[in-house]
Amino acid sequence: LFCHNTSYIKEKINKFIEFGVSKEDTLKITSQLPSLLCLTFDNTKEKMLFLRKIGLENVITNEPKRLMQSVELMYARYNYLTKIRNN
């Protein structure tokens, strides 16, 4: 993160805002987890879309570290927990 210039960081923050995350929440997320700015936004966006789809959008702002795990792991955990709950 220290190797990125301010315009790069502003661009990443604007992508969160364009996605629909409030400016306040974006600043909260990125201050809690600055390394999130090093991921491609498409990667992060895919995870946020999945969390929205399953009704866990609050995880984006309350537990941003979850955005660092792979989307495949998110799917696997969700499927496992859904299976357990339905049995």
pLDDT value at residue 69: 92
pTM as predicted: 0.84
**Is the pLDDT assigned to residue 3 strictly greater than 70?**
no
**Is the pLDDT assigned to residue 1 strictly greater than 60?**
no
Is residue 36 within 8 Å of 64, Cβ to Cβ?
A: yes
Mean pLDDT of the region 61-65: 94
pLDDT value at residue 59: 93
Name the band, by pLDDT with cuts 50, 70 and 90, for residue 87: confident
Identify the CA nearest to 12 among candidates 22, 25, 26.
Answer: 26
pLDDT digits (tens, 9 = 90+) for 21-56: 999 999 999 999 998 988 899 999 999 999 999 999
